């Protein structure tokens, strides 16, 4: 069974702080990794994709990938109350099948 | 910006009835997917579809489920005889390419089986 594991949280940070979200995956053959944001009752919304080891930055978001450790993380700098949501780590395995973690609930306090 | 659309947004049905959930993928995308999310649980893969064929399906996607691309724009999920446990959010997604590409999700259909 291919798995993606995340801390469910909730993770609470003050406004302006850095939020750090972590994820591990079990399939060593995975090549594509994604972070989605999901507000309550809504669909997953893509934040970042990452395919190579190292860091990838997009605005306030930085994704980090370490394939040797089977570890993906997402850093959110200057966190805002509007960032409060559930963050889903997802990994593509064979056939384009996207496997999701259970999500980490982030709360940014003003 | 192009987006995936889904109809209806909410479907209520009686147990044992057939339902069809509809999706319009992004127009230049070639790969289509259905996922579901039971309240409070993970998003789960159901099926992937390419070139008018199922590419992959999960163990959830049993004989009660079927998918179809009836024309050049729509992609449908049919549940033949709904069960209480089919109550969930159903998300359609699409991607340009299959095995590694980003999947973009529609807003979802909330299915309630009574």
Instruction: Name the band, by pLDDT with cuts 50, 70 and 90, for residue A64.
Output: very high
Nearest CA in chain A to B56: A95
Q: Determine, for residues B33 and A98 on separate chains, whether the beta-carbon distance falls below 8 Å.
A: yes
Q: Which of A96, A101, A102 sits opposite B48 (nearest CB)?
A: A96
Q: Could you report the per-residue pLDDT of A98-110, keeping only the tens digit for each?
A: 999 999 999 999 9
> pLDDT tens across B69-106, in order?
988 889 999 999 999 999 999 999 999 987 788 999 99
Residue B107 has pLDDT above 80, yes or no: yes
Inter-chain contact A96–B106, Cβ cutoff 8 Å?
Answer: no
Instruction: Give the Cα separation of A35 and A44 in Å (integer).
Output: 9
Partners of B48 on chain A (C-beta within 8 Å) are 95-97
């Amino acid at each position: 069974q291919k798995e993606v594991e995340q801390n469910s949280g909730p993770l609470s940070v003050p406004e302006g702080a850095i939020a750090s979200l972590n994820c591990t995956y079990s399939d060593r053959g995975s090549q594509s990794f994604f972070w989605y944001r999901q507000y309550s009752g809504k669909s997953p919304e893509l934040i970042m994709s990452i395919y190579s080891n190292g860091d990838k930055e997009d605005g306030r978001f930085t994704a980090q990938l370490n394939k040797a450790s089977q570890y993906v993380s997402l850093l959110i700098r200057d966190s805002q109350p509007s960032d409060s949501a559930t963050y889903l780590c997802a990994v593509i395995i064979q056939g384009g099948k996207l496997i999701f973690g259970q999500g980490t609930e982030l709360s940014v306090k003003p | 910006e192009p987006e995936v659309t889904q109809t209806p947004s909410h479907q209520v049905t009686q147990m044992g009835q057939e339902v069809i959930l509809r999706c319009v993928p992004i127009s230049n995308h070639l790969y289509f997917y259905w996922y579901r999310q039971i309240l409070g649980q993970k998003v789960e893969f159901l099926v992937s579809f390419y070139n008018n064929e199922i590419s992959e399906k999960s163990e959830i996607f049993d004989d009660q489920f079927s998918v179809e691309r009836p024309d050049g724009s729509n992609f449908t999920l049919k549940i033949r005889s709904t069960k209480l446990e089919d109550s969930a959010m159903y998300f359609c997604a699409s991607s340009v390419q299959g095995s590694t590409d980003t999947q973009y999700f529609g807003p979802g259909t909330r299915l309630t089986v009574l």
